[in-house]
Amino acid sequence: MCGIFGYVSRDPRGASVVLEGLRFLEYRGYDSWGIAVVGDQEILSQKATGKIAGAHTDLPPSAVALGHTRWATHGGVTYANAHPHLGCGRRFALIHNGIVENHQALRLELRSDHVFSSQTDTEVLVHLLEEEIESASDLTKALLAVFRRVEGLSAVAVVDAYTSEVAVAKNGSPVALGWANDGVYLASDANALIEHTRRIAFLEDGQAAGLSSNGVRLFEARSGHELDLDWCEVTWDAQKAGLNGYAHFMDKEIHEQPRVVQEIAVEKQDRARDLASLISRARDVYLIGCGSAHHAALSGRYMLSEVAGRGSTCAVASEMSLVYPQLSPESLVIALSQSGETIDVLDAVKGARERGATVAALVNSEGSALDRLADLSILLNCGPERCVLATKSYTAQLAVLQLTAHALSFDVERGTDELRNAALRLQELLDRDSTRRVIDEVARRTGDHEHLFILGRHRNYPLALEAALKIKEVSYMHAEGFAAGELKHGVIALVTPGTPCFILAPDSDFRREALAAAAEVRARGAFTVGFSPEDNADFDITIKTTDFASAPYEIAGASQLLAYRLALLRGCDPDKPRNLAKSVTVR
């Protein structure tokens, strides 16, 4: 979703530093962008719709700058609706992530002489600020006065051309501050700061900060009391954030997965034991997530059941209301999230907390809201995931859950062996020339179809859901994953000559049923692709998998590669699919 990047220093490179920061945040998904700098007692700004990639800034040198990438919610994708929004007097420029739910009511509370120039919910905030500054002692106090009147989850930042100060306040949307030798930074993703500094502080909900060339001051929003700032040194690897020779982050991140699985195999044993211990003490266990993280959660449910005989429930985080009545202090909620900022996951976790449940998190972004909220947080440590699509964070979640399932049956070493082997198998699959050849052929033979179906039974069912999600997100083909047993209950009506049907049959369990499904769709003329260790007369093409415990990773890797190839074939941008955002921070 929207990105925020700000810079306050004595160095006049403000606009270009912020432009680079916004480029980093591109991966979050956006449709327009803008930058404001402090000129001679007035704000100067540059805005544009479309991509930032080849953009230059023509703004003059300034030591203070604030920028934004907008993902449209209220008002179309236009120059006028792009942030920053300037007040009537050009003293302030304001940017905002989130939604001002009461923007219409707030507009009615303004004096009548304000001139609006956009259709956004945001613009009202800068006009309110123009009124609040008249009675406030400084910019941060004025922003807080505005912030207290706002309903909804937001992060708001504003720059003042008279004082060269920046103020930021947040409730819901993420904000990280960075302290560097050349100045102070703010961003909606701490990863965007590590090129400049590793000294980071995370703003909590209900907090605000004032940034000036003298430093940073932190305040509690409701009371206005000053708080101590808690700077920490983050350990992320800046190298991992680059393209490293790959054409797209999606391809790069697919190829990082063997390393990620291998590292989890050896480094997360203790954390898996910690989670297993929480599971064994809990009366009831819920695995939750959104999108790919939900699919990993569903795989986790099969793993806990099969490996450790432990029952659990899996829920889409936004449907947590189904589960609330069952939650108690003896419940354990395991929340999965790459970003740790997905609003539906945070809402679900807070709701679970209110009912006394213990919360564990499997999360990639260190310092994210989920990481900080959880009683036990297991960091995936797979490095920044810059492609909008989840790839390595998904397989990392699978790996931690597989290890945990074995830890729960008191044999974490077996989990480590399985994962080590899976990492090797996945590496081999990604390295094989034949994989690329077969995947290219499947892409060529399926890429002009409208529908594509993926059938999986039992533990392969969530893998089918995830493979379909990858293909639909990035290639815009209609891909549907379903439980193979459901074929005759509906989907078979859509199978016509040539319809691509993928059959997940990687192991002997339920193989007979998977092959029967392949025969049924083939009898109706489907083009069948088997994910299987063996060829079969009912597979037109086979993508080779190896053993039972490695198959989830091999199927994930192969279907991600296929999704990537389909995207390129169909002229889609693999890293920034239309309408999607990397972290969904609004409801």
Burial of 10 (0-12, 13-18, 19+ CB in 10 A): exposed
Residue 331: strand pairing partners: 284
Is 141 noted as a catalytic residue in this protein?
no
Quote the least distance from Cβ 586 to ligand F6R, whole Å.
Answer: 12
- Rounded Cα distance between 393 and 387, Å, is 11
- Do residues 213 and 164 lie in contact, with contact meaning Cβ atoms separated by under 8 Å? yes
Residues whose CB falls within 8 Å of the CB of residue 214, separated by 6 or more in sequence, listed in order:
none
Catalytic residue among 2, 314, 387, 501: 2
Binding mask 385-424 for ligand F6R (x = CB under 6 A): ----xx----------------------------------
Indicate the residue among 17 and 336 with the shorter CB distance to ligand F6R.
336
Q: Which stretch binds ligand F6R (CB under 6 A): 83-91, 117-125, 336-344, 352-360?
A: 336-344
Single out the residue of 26, 130, 473, 575 in contact with ligand F6R (rule: CB under 6 A): 473
Binding mask 19-48 for ligand F6R (x = CB under 6 A): ------------------------------
Angle between helix 433-446 and 551-569 (nearest 10): 50
Quote the least distance from Cβ 340 to ligand F6R, whole Å.
Answer: 7
Residues numbered 345-374 forming contacts with ligand F6R, rule: CB under 6 A: 345
CA-closest candidate to residue 254, choices 421, 114, 353, 395: 395
Quote the least distance from Cβ 188 to ligand F6R, whole Å.
Answer: 13
Single out the residue of 69, 212, 545, 583 in contact with ligand F6R (rule: CB under 6 A): 583
Quote the least distance from Cβ 128 to ligand F6R, whole Å.
Answer: 32
- Rounded Cα distance between 108 and 112, Å, is 8
Residue whose token pair is 């160095």: 11
C-alpha separations of 164 from 125, 427, 508 in Å:
19, 52, 67
Binding mask 265-304 for ligand F6R (x = CB under 6 A): -------------------------xxxx-----------
Single out the residue of 339, 395, 435, 532 in contact with ligand F6R (rule: CB under 6 A): 339
- Rounded Cα distance between 477 and 455, Å, is 16
Residue 227: strand pairing partners: 218
Residue nearest to ligand F6R (CB): 291
Quote the least distance from Cβ 364 to ligand F6R, whole Å.
Answer: 8
Catalytic residue among 252, 472, 544, 582: 582
DSSP 8-class letter at 325: G
- Rounded Cα distance between 170 and 221, Å, is 9
> Tokens standing for 470?
């990858």
Applying CB under 6 A, does 337 fall inside the site for ligand F6R?
yes
Indicate the residue among 140 and 365 with the shorter CB distance to ligand F6R.
365
Is 387 noted as a catalytic residue in this protein?
no
- Rounded Cα distance between 348 and 587, Å, is 12
- By CB under 6 A, how many residues form the interface with ligand F6R? 15
Burial of 245 (0-12, 13-18, 19+ CB in 10 A): exposed
Residues that bind ligand F6R (CB under 6 A): 290-293, 337-339, 342, 345, 389-390, 469, 473, 583-584
- Which positions are catalytic? 2, 582
